Amino acid sequence: MPTLASPDQPVYVVPEENLIPASDHLSKMKEIPASRMFLIKKSLKTYKTNNPHSPVYDASQGDGGASLPGTPPEILERAAQLQLDHGTGYDSPFGTAKFREIVAEKYWGFAPDLGLAPANVIATVGGRDGLVKSYEAMLALGHGNQGDALLVSRVPWISYNWGPYGVGANVMLAPGHEDEGWTYSEEGIKASVKFAAKSGRKIAGMIVTNPDNPTGQTITVEKQIALGKAALEAGVAFVLYDWIYHQVTDEEPMDINAFYAEFTPEEREKLIVLDGLTKSLGGSNLRSAHLVAPEKVAKFITARASHNIIPPFYGTAVAMAAYEMGYKEASRSIVEPTNASRKVLESFLKENDFKYIIGKGYYAFIHVGEWLIAKGWDDTEALGQYLAEEHGIATVPGVYFSQYGREWLRFSYATPPEKTQGAAERLLEGLKALEA
């Protein structure tokens, strides 16, 4: 039996060899800014005040629960009954066993020969929670170094820049070119690993978002596989596939079984998938997402979640109700109008000779460089404010995501087709007014 220290003596909870090293790096970190995404719509109020009888158009939305009907009431009611039946006691840090089973069997339909089972499923409190938990796991279980890098695309979703940084990962923008939608390349991944090594760092993880936010860029399944394999071969510890938009398509969503079958058993131990209700079910404030992760990652996240954030039952109940209904049917009220709006918007952009990126998911990325030049603006921040306040159309300035997107706007078409058409016309009206 170990000798206990005197009760009069302070002691650490963990042995000395397990103490976190003393460091002043927290005092040297760049301040993490609040996301401006939640402030964009405020500029529309100025237009509305000055033009009370004119409609406004919100093409900044990444929220089908606000711009479309959201989660169908019958699913919410079914989830409420599940909550009543389940009670309000603590659940497990991974959700519930029933949630794991339904995700594995009803939603993904895991093939038995790929090493995936309900134990690989972890419920999270929305996508951001799933991502932060993944970042921590990738740092600890990857190369074991705080300060290692997380690799993202050249124009990433804004929270990819700051979420990892907040838990000790340095975010690196991979090489990527505008004319290719800033998509990763295998050569760029290798260059990123070498670049990290110059400062004594390794890459703990790479995020592949498909369809992409903010650009809307969509790459093939084959390309996603090739990028993942290239990353693992180059020494990236984990590859996280963020498929939160993959159901919002007029094609087929991702087939996890066919996808995993292209990786070796050893490679599968380094793959993480994120999915959930936020986009395809319009469930932003339900905060319901899940990870599919290797056993060591699932155990790591579950252990840590037991001390911090445990997912509430209602969000998982909504997911269970939707998955049991059949997700194609459950998500129809979000997916169908968004798909229809995509066709409307692409036709409009093509007819009016815009340079743009549009794939699947929610977003188009529209180039507006010539109008910036006309006004002498350096980037799209001022343009975004002008469009909202003077023309009643809210978009997201591309510069919010990265300086490499400074000549672009993100335009959400997660609205009914007639709203998308109106928003596109208002955008063009506002841009043409700058030419006068």
Task: Give me the number of domains the chain comprises.
Answer: 2
Is there a single domain that holds both residue 199 and residue 343?
A: no
pLDDT digits (tens, 9 = 90+) for 292-351: 999 999 999 999 999 999 999 999 999 999 999 999 999 999 999 999 999 999 999 999
What is the dihedral sign for C-alpha 302, 307, 313, 319?
A: negative
User: Does the residue 31 lie in any domain?
Assistant: no
Is there a single domain that holds both residue 223 and residue 352?
A: no
- Name which of 105, 151, 127, 109 is nearest 275 in CA terms: 127
Is there a single domain that holds both residue 309 and residue 365?
A: no
User: How long a stretch of residues is the chain?
Assistant: 436
Is there a single domain that holds both residue 273 and residue 355?
A: no
Contact present, 399 and 379 (Cβ < 8 Å): yes
Share of the chain above pLDDT 70, in %: 100
Is there a single domain that holds both residue 275 and residue 380?
A: no
C-alpha 226/C-alpha 186 separation (Å) is 8
Query: In the numeric block, which tokens belong to residue 355?
Result: 């340079």
- Name which of 268, 319, 267, 375 is nearest 126 in CA terms: 319
C-alpha 301/C-alpha 286 separation (Å) is 21
Q: What is the CATH number of the domain that holds 86?
A: 3.40.640.10
Is there a single domain that holds both residue 290 and residue 386?
A: no
pTM comes to 0.97
**Neighbour tally for 432: CB within 10 Å:** 11
Full residue range of the structural domain in which residue 151 is found: 73-328
User: Does the residue 341 lie in any domain?
Assistant: yes
C-alpha 248/C-alpha 174 separation (Å) is 26
Query: In the numeric block, which tokens belong to residue 11?
Result: 């002691």
pLDDT digits (tens, 9 = 90+) for 346-398: 999 999 999 999 999 999 999 999 999 999 999 999 999 999 999 999 999 99
pLDDT digits (tens, 9 = 90+) for 203-244: 999 999 999 999 999 999 999 999 999 999 999 999 999 999
- Name which of 80, 364, 321 is nearest 212 in CA terms: 364
C-alpha 244/C-alpha 211 separation (Å) is 8
**Helix or strand or coil: residue 270?**
coil
